[in-house]
């Protein structure tokens, strides 16, 4: 039996925390399918991504631990997606702990720890900070 794991995320400014989470999720089964939030869905959530959906989806799809990528368009599609992919495990980072427990009636729900000291929000803030640049010309 192929054990299928399903997860969701925005995956903006892809970083090592994303890779570690996806790798640990893949280790829970034989296949990993990933819903990547569309730009339109992020707008509904009040978020604006730096990288457009098509590029974020391509990055996630290129990972060897990911078997399939599909668009996440709304909060309510998870039950349908679990059935469509035949997922046995629904996994998310532990910052979502408890939010998807209702899916436990159709599959196993797991929340994995996030990678310490890595966050897209913090990376975005660092990138947007004005840098202290010195004038390279001699005095």
pLDDT score of 138 more than 90: no
Rounded distance between C-alpha atoms, residue 137 and residue 106, angstroms: 65
User: pLDDT-derived band of residue 136, with 50, 70 and 90 as boundaries?
Assistant: low
- pLDDT single digits (tens) 60-95: 999 999 999 999 999 999 999 999 999 999 999 999
Q: How many CB atoms lie within 10 A of CB 70?
A: 17
CA distances from 126 to 20, 101, 112, 129 (A): 21, 34, 26, 5
Has 45 been annotated as catalytic?
Answer: yes
User: pLDDT-derived band of residue 14, with 50, 70 and 90 as boundaries?
Assistant: confident
Instruction: Indicate the number of domains in the chain.
Output: 1
Q: Which among 3, 20, 47, 129 is annotated as catalytic?
A: 47
CA distances from 107 to 9, 101, 104 (A): 19, 10, 5
Establish if 16 belongs to a structural domain: yes
Q: End-to-end alpha-carbon separation of the chain, Å?
A: 71
- pLDDT single digits (tens) 17-64: 899 999 999 999 999 999 999 999 999 999 889 899 999 999 999 999
CATH number at residue 113: 3.40.50.620
Has 47 been annotated as catalytic?
Answer: yes
The answer to whether the CB of 93 falls within 8 A of the CB of 21 is yes
Establish if 139 belongs to a structural domain: no
Domain region containing 82: 4-128
Predicted TM-score (pTM) of the model is: 0.84
Higher confidence at residue 127 or residue 55? 55
Establish if 13 belongs to a structural domain: yes
């Amino acid at each position: 039996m192929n054990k299928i794991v399903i997860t969701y995320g925005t995956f903006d400014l892809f970083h090592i925390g994303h890779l570690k989470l996806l790798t640990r999720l893949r280790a829970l089964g034989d296949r990993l399918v990933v819903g990547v939030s569309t730009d339109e869905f992020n707008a509904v959530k009040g978020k604006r991504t730096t990288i457009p959906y098509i590029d974020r989806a391509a990055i996630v799809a290129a990972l060897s631990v990911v078997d399939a990528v599909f668009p996440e368009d709304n909060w309510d599609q998870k039950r349908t997606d679990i059935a469509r992919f035949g997922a046995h495990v629904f996994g998310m980072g532990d910052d979502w702990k408890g939010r998807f427990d209702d899916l436990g009636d159709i599959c196993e729900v797991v929340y994995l720890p996030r990678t310490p000291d890595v966050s897209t929000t913090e990376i975005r803030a660092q990138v947007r900070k004005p840098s202290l640049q010195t004038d390279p010309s001699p005095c």
